[in-house]
Amino acid sequence: MAPSFDNETSLFNFVVRDGYGVKGIVDSGISKVPRAYIQPPAEQINKNNATVCEILPIDLSKFDGPDHNRVVNQIVRAAETLGFFQVVNHGVPLELLESLKLTAHNFFGLPAERKAVYRKEVSPSPLVKYGTSFVPEKEKALEWKDYISMAYTNDDEALQQWPVECRDDALQYLKTSHQMVTKLLEALMGNLGVELDNSNIDAFIGKKLVNMNFYPTCPNPELTVGVGRHSDMGTLTILLQDGIGGLYVKVPEDANMENKGEWVEIPPIPGAIVINVGDMLQILSNGKYKSAEHRVRTTSTKSRVSIPIFVSPQATQKIAPFPQVVEKDGVARYKEFVFADYMNNFFGNAHDGKKSLEFAKANSA
C-alpha cells in the first residue's frame, strides 16, 4: 500500500529506500505533486517565458573534408559561448538512438523490485546504481527524475554486470560515440595548442558513465523540476534527448551572443546528439570554454527519457589549467587538484548552479 505522500519520512522511504522512485508515486494515481517535490518559486520553470535556441546543428560528416577548419571553428565558438551545441552525422547509428529511447522506457517500466536491486546500498555491482533525484539526503526539494547509472571499465564487465535489459544498447552507444568524442576533443584541445593522441586522451576521458534518465508525467509541472540548475562535472557530456523537449541552458552573462543571462531551450532535433562542456574542460582551458549551466523541466503530457554519456578524467588524475593557456592568459584561474576530490565535493551537495566550480578556483582568481 502506498504511503501518505504528505508525510515526508514515509515518502522518502517509499521513493528512495524501497526503490519505487518518482514513477511509483505517479503509478499510485496521485492528482497533485507531493510537497517534497515543490520547488521554491525562484527555481520553478515557466516554459512560456523561455526562448528556443535557434543555433543550427554542426555537421560532423564535414570534419575530415575540405570544410574541416569551418567545422572546428563552429565547435570552438559553441564551447566558448553557450557551452552547448548539437551535432548531426555523428557516426552513431540512428536506429540505435531510437532503440535506446525504447530501451530506457522499457527499463523504467519494470516492476519496482526489479529496479530496486540496483540501489546504491544493495547493488550487486559497484558499476551500477539505480536512484532518484540527485542527492535526496541533501535536497530541500526533490527532483522529479529516476535514473540508472552504468560505469564503464571494459566490455566484459559491462556485459556481465550492467542490467540485462539495457546493457547491449548502452554499450553500443558508448562504443559508437567514441570516435565522435575524440574528434570533438581534438578540435577543442587543438585550439588551445594541446595535441591529443593515444598517450594522453585518457587523462581527459578515462572515466565513462552511461545514464538513462526517466522523467515521469507530472500533474503540476510548473511546480517541479526534472533536474535543478547545475553544470556537469566532467569533460564532455554526450546527450540523447527524446522528442518531448524540456532541456534549458543559461546563456552566460559574458557570452558574445543574444539573451545574456536568460534560459534558452535546446529543442530536440531528430537524429541529433546534444554536446555540452563540463567543468573539467572549463578548468583545463582556464575558463576559455564554458561549462554549461542547465536544468530540465517536467511535463504533464508524456514521460520523457534522456540518455547521457559522461566522459571525465580518471579519479586519480591531477587537473589544472594547461600551462600553454596560462602562459598566454598571464594568470591561472584554477588551482591544481585531484579529480576524485572534485567528484566528492560535487556529489556531496545538492545542485546549485555552477557553485561546484568554486572548489577549483585559484586563490588569486
- pLDDT, tens digit, 9 for 90 and up, residues 14-52: 666 677 888 888 888 888 888 888 888 888 887 777 788
Structure letter (DSSP) for residue 339 = H
Quick one: pLDDT band at residue 165, thresholds 50, 70, 90?
Answer: very high
| Average pLDDT score over residue span 2-25 | 68
Instruction: State phi, psi for 174 to the nearest 5 degrees.
Output: -60, -45
| Average pLDDT score over residue span 148-165 | 96
- Using alpha carbons, select from 221, 142, 33 the residue that is nearest to residue 25: 33
d(CA 182, CA 179): 5
d(CA 5, CA 19): 15
Residue 133 confidence (pLDDT): 66
- pLDDT, tens digit, 9 for 90 and up, residues 78-111: 999 999 999 999 999 999 999 999 999 999 999 9
Quick one: pLDDT band at residue 326, thresholds 50, 70, 90?
Answer: very high
- Give CA separation, 147 vs 88, 134, 174, 201, 211, in Å: 26, 9, 17, 28, 7
CA of residue 359 relative to chain centroid, distance: 20
For residues 33 and 219, the answer to whether their CB atoms sit within 8 Å is yes
Give the residue carrying C-alpha cell 525562484. 42
| Average pLDDT score over residue span 185-196 | 93
Q: What is the pTM of this model?
A: 0.92
